[in-house]
């Protein structure tokens, strides 16, 4: 690696992408091409905090690399995608999430560029088959929404093409933390809770519609964004390691635990109200996620994951969410 090493971070004005670009800055790197559309005040704030060589519109960037007009770089971090779990335009997701990723992956391989991309825990569907990132299991999963399918389709394609021997995919679980204010309804529950509590003094959680889960005791594997970034950079630092890996803590926590932690961090008494879950998402709702971290740790990644309460206090006290 030389001093002129360049990085491409797609989705670099977004949530995980901007935190990743900032971490590269903190390592002394500012020769970064950020690919994104700064189409909201939140994304503009994220970009303003970064040092980068260039910011490119994602469509112009796609045209440029397909035409061979992008300079050789050290690593492509492909974080950008439509992450809406309620997006119903299958053709859009197939093009924007799956085909775009395939094209950028192929360009990276042809140009001997390290390719690290964002997959998702949404690929695991209802969890009936578990949460293993073992290659033998990957084709068997059935996501519950089109977003998850768009990620799964690329994972399976990369596996079938034998590309997971040279690239890295990260199945991010429920990531939360600074610089997600622009995400609208796709913001983390920590972010939403803070806003709800500031505005109304209460936090709202969905009721459960499965008898084995009491209201508010649906579970997620919550990941602080700083931890997700450190795991991502581990694979940049170790180009000899490739494959598809879970990026999760390996521990499932309830929404009630998260809600209580937010109130505690805000120095308030919990005031939680259970509300009806919209009928449109009841059949596609994940009641439990928990990363199997066996493969991640076997690869040598010993990155500790910040305990939920500590991460929420850090977020709420040091980076309080703002409205866009």
Residue 160 near residue 122 (C-beta atoms within 8 A): no
pLDDT tens digit string along 257-284?
999 999 999 999 999 999 999 998 898 8
Question: Do residues 290 and 218 lie in contact, with contact meaning Cβ atoms separated by under 8 Å?
Answer: no
pLDDT digits (tens, 9 = 90+) for 11-58: 999 999 999 999 999 999 999 999 999 888 999 999 999 999 999 999
What confidence category does residue 80 fall into, taking pLDDT thresholds of 50, 70 and 90? very high
Question: Which residues make up the CATH 3.40.50.720 domain(s) of the chain?
Answer: 7-175+222-250+291-303
Q: How many H helices and E strands in the chain?
A: 12, 13
Question: Comparing 280 with 169, which gets the higher pLDDT?
Answer: 169
Which residue in 100, 171, 183, 194 is the catalytic one?
A: 183
Residues of the chain within CATH 3.90.25.10 domain(s) are: 179-219+252-287+313-318
Tell me if residue 9 falls in helix, strand or coil.
Answer: strand
Q: Residue 184: which of 323, 11, 36, 12 has the closest Cα?
A: 323
Under the banding of pLDDT at 50, 70 and 90, the label for residue 323 is low
Q: What is the mean pLDDT of the chain?
A: 95
Stretch 238-250: mean pLDDT: 98
> For the domain 7-175+222-250+291-303, what is the CATH code?
3.40.50.720
Q: What superfamily does domain 179-219+252-287+313-318 belong to in CATH?
A: UDP-galactose 4-epimerase, domain 1 (3.90.25.10)
Specify the pLDDT at position 324: 57
What count of residues does the chain have?
Answer: 324
Q: How far apart are CA 84 and CA 41, in angstroms?
A: 19
Query: What is the percentage of the chain residues whose pLDDT exceeds 90?
Result: 91
Would you say residue 288 has pLDDT above 70? yes
Mean pLDDT value across residues 180-187: 93
Q: What is the pLDDT of residues 123-148, one digit of tens each?
A: 999 999 999 999 999 999 999 999 99
| Residue 5 predicted with pLDDT over 70 | no
1 pLDDT more than 50: no
User: Is residue 147 flagged as an active site residue?
Assistant: yes
Residues 86-103 pLDDT 10s: 899 999 999 999 999 999
Closest CA to 310 of 253, 254, 262: 262
Q: What is the DSSP letter of 70?
A: S
Please tell me the predicted confidence (pLDDT) of residue 60: 96
Active-site position among 124, 141, 147, 315: 147
Confidence of residue 2 (pLDDT cuts 50, 70, 90): very low
209 catalytic per annotation:
no
């Amino acid at each position: 690696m030389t001093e002129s090493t360049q990085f491409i971070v797609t989705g670099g004005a977004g949530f995980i992408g901007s935190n990743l670009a900032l971490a590269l800055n903190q390592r002394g790197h500012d020769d970064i091409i950020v690919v994104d559309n700064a189409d909201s005040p939140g994304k503009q704030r994220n970009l303003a905090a970064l040092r980068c060589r260039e910011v490119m519109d994602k469509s112009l960037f796609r045209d440029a690399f397909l035409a061979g007009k992008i300079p050789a770089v050290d690593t492509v971090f492909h974080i950008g995608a439509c992450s809406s779990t309620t997006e119903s335009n299958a053709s859009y997701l197939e093009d924007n999430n799956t085909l775009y990723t395939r094209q950028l992956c192929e360009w990276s391989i042809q140009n001997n560029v390290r390719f690290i991309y964002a997959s998702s825990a949404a690929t695991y569907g209802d969890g009936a088959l578990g949460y293993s990132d073992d290659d033998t299991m990957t084709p068997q999963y059935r996501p519950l929404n089109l977003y998850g399918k768009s990620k799964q389709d690329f994972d399976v394609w990369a596996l079938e093409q034998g590309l997971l021997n040279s690239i890295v995919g990260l199945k991010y679980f429920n990531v939360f933390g600074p610089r997600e204010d622009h995400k609208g309804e796709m913001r983390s529950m920590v972010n939403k809770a803070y806003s709800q509590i500031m505005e109304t003094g209460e936090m709202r959680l969905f009721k459960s519609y499965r008898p084995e889960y009491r209201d508010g005791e649906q579970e997620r594997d919550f990941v602080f964004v700083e931890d997700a970034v450190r795991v991502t950079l581990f694979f940049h630092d170790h180009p000899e390691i490739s494959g598809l890996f879970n990026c999760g803590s390996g521990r499932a926590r309830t929404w009630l635990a998260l809600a209580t932690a937010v109130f505690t961090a805000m120095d308030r008494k919990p005031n939680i109200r259970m509300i009806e879950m919209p009928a449109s998402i009841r059949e596609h709702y994940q009641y439990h996620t928990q990363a199997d971290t066996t493969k991640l740790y076997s690869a040598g990644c010993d990155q500790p994951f910040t305990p939920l309460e500590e991460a929420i206090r850090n977020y709420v006290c040091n980076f309080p969410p703002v409205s866009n």
